[in-house]
Amino acid sequence: MQTYSVRASEIRHDWFVVDAEGQILGRLATEIASVLKGKRKPTYSPHMDVGDHVVVVNADKVRVTGRKRDEKMYFRHSLYPGGDSLTRFRDLQAAKPEEIIRLAVKGMMPRNRLGRAMMKKLKIYAGPEHPHVAQAPQPLPLPKLR
């Protein structure tokens, strides 16, 4: 018996839609990262991009637990001296709610060109509307996330 290895011609990328309203950020991000990597498929291969496309809607209504809303900070640096900046979760959620989910999922992806290719399949929108209706995305069956 030989080990099965998926071929690039056999890979099929499906489309899923996730409603982030009322979902906890970290738990939602792990499920999205799992779908983007393709870990839910029997043909999962860590060296190939076998994952699916994910469309996230209502990103502005994602939740965090505890006091993270006021205490969680996002760090950026412009690569110039003194170019560091810190942004609170609350402020980033008001300004760019899509960025919160993107950064959470990005931290769970591989840090190489394969991870960057997988991140391109993630589409995030602050409101309930998205332009990917033609792809007929299916609702992603999430486990009950408290």
Map out the domains of the chain with their CATH numbers.
Answer: 13-64+95-139 (3.90.1180.10)
Residue 146: what pLDDT? 58
Q: Which of 48, 47, 18 is nearest to 31 (CA)?
A: 18
Is the separation of the CB atoms in 125 and 98 below 8 Å? yes
Tell me the C-alpha distance between 27 and 31, whole Å: 7
Residue 144: what pLDDT? 73
Positions in the chain short of pLDDT 50: none
Q: CA dihedral in degrees (72, 116, 123, 71; nearest 10)?
A: 0
Tell me the C-alpha distance between 134 and 141, whole Å: 20
Q: Tell me the whole-structure pTM to 2 decimals.
A: 0.93
Residue 145: what pLDDT? 59
Residue 106: what pLDDT? 98
Residue 51: what pLDDT? 96
